[in-house]
């Protein structure tokens, strides 16, 4: 048991670090990496694309992808090492993650050879940015309850409906959309998956303002939007199977809420904030809470070491890889709540004058979103219970009947 | 056994509730929050016109001469609608402090204007992050002049006067300061709950007089905070209860997988647990109200109990409200964040929650030693 | 708002107290009342019967019952006052509660006039003790899943099967039993309710040893036990409706775990046990925990005051009356766990030398039972959710099919 | 990154598990528990014959010369079967203490007999309820004679010798005491977990020598406890994991309302949460094992982390095991209470859990100040 690279890993790490040092600037100590959250300006998109192209030219983009699409066929542990190293440098926010992490892999599995050749290389280079059009106002955790329709019209399909929680819709070239193509079929059987040009007429994009004032997501409205049949992924009415591939990759794309304060920040706060003239950390009650937070945060970190170890050994990581967000998101919220307790009355400030520049106020306002985005706590528990522990699935009242007959609200 | 509000008080509640349903929909809170309007002057005037500001102020000072039970009833209802007004600062803190510790002259000077809402008062105690104990308080009064900085001060931007905690040599007291004088600088601070305004106040040799005519001592501040804690606890209870009602309704009407989401035990059992917390908190609040209205020696313990319970429960409620609403609950447009912010504001307004737990046990020890 | 009796209540309390003072000995300060738990000896049963007869003769037994059966038609608040007063005196354990609290009321609602006249007066006087035969090994929370059968044979019924968790089976004269009389009917429709003579041939009673070493319950085996049809309560196959009446009364009969240590005991322990030479209560972390326990324990106590207030005003108590056991049982377990934390290594002793005579060790071992008996935590949450909050019932896969076809285990 | 046991260690685990499946079914634990037999001599001899007692003892002292990782593997397996033997007292405490702080002569004298199981050792530190700090310890050594009382002492009734914490003037050390001498009185105490024996030891001028030849100081005791904490944490993890597996199986096979009870989210989601706690604890335990096996400066923090995490999780597991088994889980016949008792025994054996949390933060502060 140790934390060292194997000789091969060490060599790969050195190679990655050498290239990064030659092409990027390291983060200063304590400096936070650029966050995806917040408003996008075109300049930031341009810089992100520039960096992505530079990586692609040198063979450092999507390194696990096959060489024919621009990757280098790297192993999963090499991908981990690369991202560890890249995280030490000042880089633009990664606006390509959804495409490269979820949609590209879906195309690789379900796309035609022509689709792969057309879409994957510019996705890898960042020339074309992608967004995901899955959730709907009435289809969140119950994604297969989607109602956006696609109706065949000659060689095209006509799409109508509304999608929501779409990251980056306004700067994306392409979107991957799931639509209902047969409302008379069972819920999961009448769904078809398309690639849609986000500049098509009939698409309207509205940013969603979150409770923390940020806008990371959009609503996207479709009114008679035309998509050619050649943009279909998989067979007609077989889209749910393709969508599952996308969702399986989502866990990798959405982390445990990277960025934002961590245990060490809480520890620092407890050492600096004063209660009746003494640092709060001198209070034994504060210490009890700190210990529990520490153990939880470290448990999560060491669990990621176990996952890396499996990858390093060429094994598939065990189910422990699925606990990250379920532990991390509530932990962030609870640490923030406790930090605000420590701050006392000053917790009421969302102001530059707040302790630590309102670090914990912002975390408190942002953390509820972490518990919802990319699978709610409740959905994650169901996934762990069913897929990891083999417990029975939920009893379904929406199976075995046509989708249009599935209840969607209380009877009047 | 008569551990409930009376029929008259319940009637008052109904009246207050239906009045506020009209005058203070959640859109009003949102409006103040979004426009940074400090507070709703229209609601303030409407509430003043109802006589609620003087609920517990004796008639001879222009109040209605009711008791703290009536005030608790109103507080719960104001909590339900997240009322964007300086009711707590001006009534639970300033008016109650004057009633408890003011000289007759001070009462006559301030209370009538507080009852009508002409004047807004507040209490300025905190000096930045953490908790300023008797030992570490920095604001001082010398020769009748106050110097120091208080932050955050609830409604400090809009109040006409403040009771400011300060040391004078070894003594401790509450100094009454006119906030319109030159020696007071006010600075707007962005609030975690912008429907409730906070400010920094800087005093440079501002002329003051002591509440009660002389330094009242630390215990009086604790007593004032205990009284306020009971009333704030009713606001917290009201907020938590309203969040529960909205959420329960939503889970019954929101369908997923062909079923109302309330039918999933993951939510159903948490709603049951949430209900249980509300009932326990309500009981602790009632006990606080009893102790407050009877000026009972149990007040300190009862106030700490009500505050700890209500703070926990409003935090739980505001978290669960968002979580059970799913993604919509995280949007700006949804009302859930109004509750989430208010819960935090009310948790902060009387200092760190752990300090209240600590104090509760101190009170229990004292009681034990006395017995 | 106050804690005083009304003048009528005060008069009633004085009357009750006067009689008790004349007929019983008050508990010494700090003395615990006799507990139901533990082994029964015939002498204790005899003493309990003696006390019950004394009360009955003076009109203080089952005071809310109608006068015609020996009660005095008292109000619910009078019953509360009586039990408060009686609790201040040294009395034998109440071995009649199940009969008087649950079964008697069921007979009053569903019994024939003849049954009422035959069974209620001796039940009230304690001459005949009753037990309840509901749960079965495979029918606990799912009580209606019971499999004990009753088959008609002339004027009699023949009962076969096994009941469990039966308090007082070995000293009871009568049992109230629910049986399956039509396995082809839907689960809830083929159940019939009988009174069974516990001395009948074919009944075998075996005490159950609990994890804490006590034996409060029994298993009762029925082999061809004969019950005359006149002992049937309610109609054939309509027993579930009668059983619901019994269960509705169960909440009143089973308290929040009376007896055993309380907050004040925890407070005392924290003040006396030493950590590094100082009382543990000087540790701020201990104080934080104590505060939370106090608030919870008091919340429960004040809630009971609210219930009493409603009764005092002649109102039906609100749903707050249903939270007692759900709060009280886990609270007991958590307080015990914390008390053992305070004791440190000495927590490992279940010995007279343990702190406070192993008070908290015994509570820790006993409290899991409180969370299960009389409705598990989970069933109580369902009851609150459905009956109090009006949330939807569970989806049922055991309805609309014959009982015999309801799945009872994994398919082989 | 190599943060897992090696293939050899995993093979060891398989061997240990299948050996214990035969030699130490839960009925063995129950048998000791019900007969108050102090420990299973047959299992003790079998374990000794496997060489496990000397796993981490160098060959020159008669051990197998493996490392602490192998010992951790064995500890987890012993935890899974709730092994009713004095393995922890004799191996994690006595043997490790001798290895860490004994003189060469002491090692040669005791370790060979500890490896074969001929001798059983233990460590006697606690003096009744609470936690005896350096300041308040009462046992003393004067002129090479120990006086005092230790209670509870794990396996104090069956051990041949004990390392006894004691003061000598201002010094603190561990005194080695032969428990068969007249000056030692042993008293059986009933254990909360009667499958693990505890006793009171009274010393009246019992002849001793210091571990290491002289008073070793308080820090050495802490270090010995840290090492033991990691190994006990693996026992706790094993117990919690086994409780989980039994319970998961039960909820799949127990039907109510026509469905396996595992299909109700009330249990399903709690099983998921329980699984999460097991994984977090496993990771913290691994970190402890790494630090222990590398004699890393992080050992103190790692040991506190493993202990806090494992103690919490075994308590949770043993509670949930009973609750999810329903009424049957509360019976004497069911194995759930064996886990419930063992969880408490292991939580108690190294002193109050809050003290471990406190110490964790102290270690973090020291690290911070050093950096």
Q: Which of residues 276-335 of C touch B (CB under 8 A)?
A: 281, 284, 287-288, 290-292, 294-296, 298-303, 305-306, 308-310, 312-313, 319-320, 323, 326-327
> Is D357 part of the contact surface with chain A (CB cutoff 8 Å)?
yes
Residue A173: pLDDT over 90 = yes
> Cα A277–A278–A279 angle (5° rounding)?
130
Same-domain pairing of B252 and B353: yes
Q: Nearest Cβ partner of B257 from A165, A361, A398?
A: A398
pLDDT score for C251: 57
Chain B residues 304-343 within an 8 A CB cutoff of chain A? 315, 319, 322-323, 326-334, 336-337, 340-341
Catalytic residue among A9, A250, A320, A356: A250
Question: Considering only CA atoms, which of A187, A189, A186, A198 is closest in space to residue A133?
Answer: A198
DSSP string, A333-349: HHHHHHHHHHHBGGGGB
Question: A190 and A217: one domain?
Answer: yes
The phi and psi torsions of B168 (rounded to 5 degrees) equal -140, 100
* D7: closest CA of chain C, how far (Å): 36
Tell me the range of B82-96, C242-256, C367-381 where mean pLDDT is highest: B82-96
Which residue in A284, A395, A397 is closest to C284 by CB distance? A284
Whole-angstrom Cα distance, residue C325 to residue D42? 45
Determine whether the interchain pair A340/B347 forms a contact, defined as Cβ–Cβ distance below 8 Å: yes
d(CA A358, CA A351): 6
Q: Which two tokens stand for residue C301?
A: 């106590």
Which chain C residue has the Cα nearest residue A287? C285
Same domain, A208 and A269: no
Instruction: Say whether both D115 and D205 belong to one domain.
Output: no
Nearest chain D alpha carbon to B264: D265
List, in order, residues 6 or more apart from D32 with CB less than 8 Å away: D38, D39, D40, D84, D194, D195
Residues of B in contact with C1 (CB under 8 A): 2-6, 69, 286, 289-290, 293-294
CB atoms < 10 A from the CB of C397, how many? 14
CA distance A315 to chain D (A): 12
DSSP 8-state class, residue A150: E
Residue D1 lies in a domain: no
Q: Which residues of chain D make contact with A313, given a CB cutoff of 8 A? A: 4
Residues D308 and D259 both lie in one domain:
yes
Determine, for residues D286 and A306 on separate chains, whether the beta-carbon distance falls below 8 Å. Answer: yes
Tell me: the pLDDT tens digits for C309-340? 988 888 877 766 679 999 999 999 999 999 99
Neighbouring CB atoms inside 10 A of D44's CB total 20
Number of domains chain B contains = 3
In this structure, the answer to whether residues D299 and D240 fall within a common structural domain is yes
Count Cα neighbours of D356 within 13 Å in the Cβ-side half-sphere. 34
In a shared domain, residues D224 and D365: yes
pLDDT digits (tens, 9 = 90+) for B87-97: 999 999 999 99
CB contact under 8 A, B264 and D266: no
Residue in D closest to C336 by C-alpha? D344
| Neighbors of chain C by Cβ distance (3+ pairs < 8 Å) | A, B, D
Asked if residue D292 is part of any domain, the answer here is: yes
D219: CB partners within 8 A, 6+ apart: none
pLDDT more than 70, % of chain C: 96
Helices B7-23 and B68-80 meet at what angle, rounded to 10?
30
Same domain, D326 and D363: yes
**CB of D163 within 8 A of CB of D154?**
no
Crossing angle of helices B353-370 and B299-325, rounded to 10° = 150
Q: Where are the alpha helices (DSSP H) in D117-193?
A: none
| Cα distances (Å, whole numbers) of residue C70 to C59, C74, C250 | 7, 11, 22
Q: How many helices (H) and strands (E) does chain D have?
A: 12, 9
**Cis-peptide, bond into residue B7, ω within 30° of zero:** no
- Taking the C-alpha atoms of residue D165 and residue D148, their distance in angstroms, rounded to an integer, is 10
- pLDDT digits 0-9 by tens, B195-213: 999 999 999 999 999 999 9
Q: Residue C165 corresponds to which tokens in the numbers above?
A: 């968790």
Task: Calculate mean pLDDT across residues A311-331.
Answer: 84
Buried b (16+ CB within 10 A) or exposed e, A233-243: bbebebbbebb
The residue among D370, D230, D218 whose CA lies nearest residue D305 is D230
Q: Does the distance separating the beta carbons of C384 and B276 come in below 8 Å?
A: yes
Active site residue C15: no
H/E element holding C360?
helix C359-370
Mean pLDDT computed over A95-103: 92
Domain of residue C235, CATH code: 2.40.110.10
Domain that holds residue D149: 122-216
Mean pLDDT within C131-135:
96
- Examine the domain organization and report whether A293 and A376 are in the same domain: yes
**What's C28's domain CATH number?**
1.10.540.10
Diameter over CA atoms, chain A = 77
* Domain boundaries, position C270: 256-388
Residue D163 has pLDDT above 50, yes or no: yes
Q: What is the pLDDT of residue A315?
A: 84
**Same domain for C303 and C266:** yes
Same domain, C309 and C352: yes
Among A210, A242, A274, identify where a domain stops.
A242
Judging by DSSP bridges, how do beta strands A130-133 and A174-180 pair with one another? parallel
pLDDT (tens digit per residue) in B318-361: 999 999 999 999 999 999 999 999 999 999 999 989 999 999 99
In a domain, C401, yes or no: no
> Which residues of A lie closer than 8 Å to C, measured between beta carbons?
283-288, 395, 397
CA distance C92 to chain D (A): 26
Q: Residue D149 in contact with residue D202, Cβ under 8 Å?
A: yes
Q: Supply the ipTM of this predicted assembly.
A: 0.96
CB atoms within 10 A of CB C316: 9
Do residues D252 and D246 lie in contact, with contact meaning Cβ atoms separated by under 8 Å? Answer: no
What Å distances lie between residue A29 and A262, A268, C294, D365, CA to CA?
15, 16, 46, 21
* D139-143 CB contacts, 8 Å cutoff, 24+ apart: D139/D164, D139/D165, D139/D166, D139/D167, D139/D203, D140/D166, D140/D167, D140/D168, D141/D166, D141/D167, D141/D168, D141/D173, D141/D175, D141/D208, D141/D210, D142/D168
Q: Are residues B206 and B224 in the same domain?
A: no
- C86 and C92 Cβ atoms separated by less than 8 Å: no
* pLDDT tens by residue, B263-305: 999 999 999 999 999 999 999 999 999 999 999 999 999 999 9
CA distance C262 to B102: 42
Interface of C with B in 373-402 (CB under 8 A): 378, 380-382, 384-385, 388-395
Helix and strand totals (H; E) in chain B: 12, 9
Residue A281 has pLDDT above 90, yes or no: yes
Answer positive or negative: Cα dihedral of C360, C365, C366, C372. Answer: positive
**CB pair distance less than 8 Å for A142 and B257:** yes
C-alpha neighbours within 13 Å on the C-beta side of residue C368: 28
Q: Which residue from D minimizes the CA distance to B269?
A: D266
- Please report all neighbours of D, defined by 3+ CB atom pairs within 8 A: A, B, C
**What is the residue whose two structure tokens read 């008797």?**
B134
Q: Which of D259, D268, D279 sits opposite A323 (nearest CB)?
A: D279
Q: Among residues B58, B90, B119, which one ends one of the domains?
A: B119
Catalytic residue among C9, C15, C250, C356: C250
Could you tell me which chains touch chain A, where touching means 3 or more CB pairs under 8 A?
A: B, C, D
Give pLDDT tens digits for B133-172: 888 899 999 999 999 999 999 999 999 999 999 999 999 9
Residue D188 has pLDDT above 90, yes or no: yes
* Mean pLDDT taken over chain D: 97
Nearest to C385 among B1, B272, B309 (CB): B272
What chains are in contact with B, requiring at least 3 Cβ pairs below 8 Å?
Answer: A, C, D
Q: 3-class SS at A294?
A: helix
Torsion angle in degrees (nearest 10) through CA of A79, A84, A87, A91: -30
- Which residues in A lie closer than 8 A to residue B323 (C-beta atoms)? 368, 371-372, 376-377
Sign (positive or negative) of CA dihedral B229, B234, B235, B237: positive
Chain D environment of A141 (Cβ under 8 Å): none
Please tell me the predicted confidence (pLDDT) of residue C260.
84
Chain D, residues 248-267, CB within 8 A of chain C, namely: 252-253, 255-260, 264, 266-267
- Alpha carbon C148 to chain centroid distance? 23
Residue at A250 is within a domain: no
List the structure tokens of B97: 């402090």
Residue C354 lies in a domain: yes
Residues C113 and C115: their CA atoms lie apart, in Å, by: 5
| Chain D interface test: which of C257, C345, C357, C370 (most D C-beta within 10 Å) | C345
Pair (B312, B195) in one structural domain? no
Task: Tell me chain A's radius of gyration from C-alpha atoms.
Answer: 23
For the ranges A42-46, A125-129, B50-54, the lowest mean pLDDT is seen at A42-46
* Per-residue confidence (pLDDT) for residue A248, from 0 to 100: 82
DSSP one-letter code for C278: E
In terms of CA atoms, which chain C residue is nearest residue D330? C211
- The Cα–Cα gap between B363 and B355 comes to 12
Closest-CA distance, B265 to chain D, in angstroms, reads 5
pLDDT tens digit sequence for C175-184: 999 999 999 9
Strand partners, D199: D153, D188
Q: Which helix (H) or strand (E) holds C376?
A: none
Angle, vertex CA A276, rays to CA A273 and CA A281, nearest 5: 45
Give D139's DSSP letter: -
Same domain, B24 and B97: yes
Look at residue C254 in the predicted model and tell me its pLDDT.
Answer: 45
Provide DSSP, B15-70: HHHHHHHHH--HHHHHHHHHHT-SS-HHHHHHHHHTTGGGTTS-GGGTS----HHH
Q: What is the DSSP letter of A170?
A: G
| Contact B165/C at CB under 8 A | no
| A379 and A268 within one domain | yes
Residue A18 C-alpha, separation from nearest chain B C-alpha, in angstroms: 42
Query: How many CB atoms neighbour CB A102 within 10 A?
Result: 23
The per-residue pLDDT for A127 is 96
What confidence tier does A321 reach under pLDDT thresholds 50, 70, 90?
low
What is the pLDDT at residue C255?
44
Residues B280 and B318 in one domain: yes
Whether B2 is in a domain gets the answer no
- Whose CA is closest to B143, among B166, B110, B118, B126? B166
pLDDT band at A257 (very low <50, low <70, confident <90, very high): very low
C102 is a domain residue: no
Quote the mean pLDDT of chain A.
92
Same structural domain for residues B307 and B188?
no
In contact, D228 and D100? CB cutoff 8 Å = no
Same-domain pairing of C224 and C332: no
DSSP symbols for B208-252: EEEGGGS---HHHHHHHHHHHHHHHHHHHHHHHHHHHHHHHHHHH
Query: Cα torsion for A208, A211, A214, A217, to the nearest 10°?
Result: -30
Q: Cβ contact (<8 Å) for A271 and D272?
A: no
Spatial separation of the C-alpha atoms in residues D357 and D305, rounded to whole Å:
8
Q: CATH no. for residue B346? A: 1.20.140.10
Residue ending a domain, among B89, B119, B149, is: B119
Q: Is C128 helix (H, G, I), strand (E, B) or coil?
A: coil
Total count of domains within chain A: 3
What does the alpha-carbon distance between residue D198 and residue D97 come to, in Å, rounded to a whole number?
Answer: 20
pLDDT at position A253 over 70:
no
C120, C364, D81, D276, D345 from D313: Cα distances, Å? 51, 17, 17, 10, 14
């Amino acid at each position: 048991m140790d934390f060292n690279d194997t000789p091969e890993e060490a060599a790969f790490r050195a190679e990655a670090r050498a290239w990064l040092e030659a092409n990027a600037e390291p983060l200063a100590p304590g400096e936070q990496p650029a966050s995806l959250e917040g408003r996008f300006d075109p300049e930031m998109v341009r810089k992100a694309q520039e960096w992505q192209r530079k990586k692609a030219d040198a063979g450092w983009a999507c390194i696990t992808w096959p060489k024919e699409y621009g990757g280098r066929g790297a192993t999963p542990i090499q991908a981990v090492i690369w991202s560890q190293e890249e995280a030490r440098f000042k880089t633009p926010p990664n606006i390509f993650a959804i495409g490269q992490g979820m949609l590209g892999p879906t195309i690789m599995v379900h796309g035609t050879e022509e689709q792969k050749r057309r879409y994957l290389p510019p996705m890898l280079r960042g020339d074309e940015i992608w967004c995901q059009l899955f959730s709907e106002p009435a289809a969140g955790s119950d994604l297969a309850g989607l109602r956006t329709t696609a109706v065949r019209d000659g060689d095209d399909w006509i799409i109508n409906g509304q999608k929501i929680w779409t990251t980056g819709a306004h700067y994306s070239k392409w979107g991957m959309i799931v639509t209902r193509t047969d409302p008379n079929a069972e819920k999961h059987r009448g769904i078809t998956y398309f690639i849609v040009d986000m500049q098509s007429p009939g698409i309207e994009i509205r940013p969603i303002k979150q409770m923390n004032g940020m806008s990371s997501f959009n609503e996207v409205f479709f009114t008679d939007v035309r998509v050619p049949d050649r943009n279909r992924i998989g067979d007609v009415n077989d889209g749910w199977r393709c969508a599952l591939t996308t969702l399986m990759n989502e866990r990798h794309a959405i982390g445990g809420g990277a960025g934002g304060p961590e245990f060490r920040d809480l520890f620092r706060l407890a050492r600096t904030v004063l209660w009746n003239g003494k640092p709060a950390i001198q209070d034994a009650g504060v210490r009890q809470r700190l210990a529990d937070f520490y153990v939880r945060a470290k448990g999560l970190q060491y669990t990621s070491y176990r996952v890396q170890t499996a990858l390093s050994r060429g094994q598939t990581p065990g189910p422990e890889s699925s606990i990250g967000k379920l532990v991390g998101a509530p932990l962030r919220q609870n640490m923030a709540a406790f930090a605000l307790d420590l701050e006392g009355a000053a917790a009421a400030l969302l102001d530059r004058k707040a302790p630590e520049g309102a670090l914990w106020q912002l975390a408190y306002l942002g953390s509820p979103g972490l518990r919802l985005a990319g699978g709610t706590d409740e959905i994650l528990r169901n996934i762990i219970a069913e897929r990891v522990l083999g417990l029975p699935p939920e009893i379904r009242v929406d199976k075995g009947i046509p989708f249009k007959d599935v209840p969607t609200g209380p009877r009047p | 056994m008569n551990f409930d509000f009376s029929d008259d008080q319940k009637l008052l509640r109904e009246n207050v509730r239906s009045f506020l349903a009209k005058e203070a929909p959640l859109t009003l809170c949102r409006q103040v929050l979004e426009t940074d309007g400090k507070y709703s002057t229209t609601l303030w005037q409407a509430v003043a016109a109802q006589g609620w500001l003087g609920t517990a102020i004796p008639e001879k000072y222009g109040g209605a001469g009711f008791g703290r039970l009536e005030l608790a009833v109103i507080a719960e209802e104001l909590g339900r609608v997240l009322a964007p007004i300086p009711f707590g600062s001006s009534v639970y803190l300033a008016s109650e402090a004057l009633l408890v510790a003011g000289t007759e002259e001070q009462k006559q000077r301030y209370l009538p204007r507080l009852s009508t809402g002409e004047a807004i008062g507040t209490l300025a105690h905190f000096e930045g992050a953490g908790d300023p104990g008797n030992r570490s308080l920095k604001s001082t009064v010398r020769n009748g002049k106050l110097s120091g900085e208080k932050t955050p001060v609830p409604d400090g931007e809009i109040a006409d006067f403040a009771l400011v905690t300060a040391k004078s040599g070894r003594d401790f007291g509450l100094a009454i300061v006119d906030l319109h004088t030159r020696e007071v600088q006010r600075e707007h601070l962005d609030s975690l709950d912008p429907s409730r305004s906070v400010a920094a106040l800087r005093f440079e040799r501002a002329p003051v007089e002591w509440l009660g005519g002389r330094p009242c001592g630390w215990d009086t501040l604790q007593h004032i905070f205990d009284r306020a804690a009971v009333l704030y606890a009713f606001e917290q209870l009201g907020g938590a209860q309203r969040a529960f009602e909205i959420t329960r309704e939503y889970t019954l009407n929101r369908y997923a997988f062909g079923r109302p989401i309330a039918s999933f035990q993951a939510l159903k059992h948490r709603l049951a647990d949430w209900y249980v917390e509300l009932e326990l908190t309500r009981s602790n609040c009632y006990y606080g109200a009893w102790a407050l209205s009877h000026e009972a020696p149990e007040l300190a313990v009862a106030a700490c109990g009500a505050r700890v319970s209500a703070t926990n429960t409003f935090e739980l409620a505001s978290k669960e409200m968002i979580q059970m609403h799913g993604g919509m609950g995280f949007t700006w447009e949804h009302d859930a964040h109004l509750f989430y912010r208010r819960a935090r504001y009310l948790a902060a307004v009387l200092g760190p929650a752990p300090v209240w737990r600590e104090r509760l046990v101190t009170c229990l020890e004292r009681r034990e030693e006395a017995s």
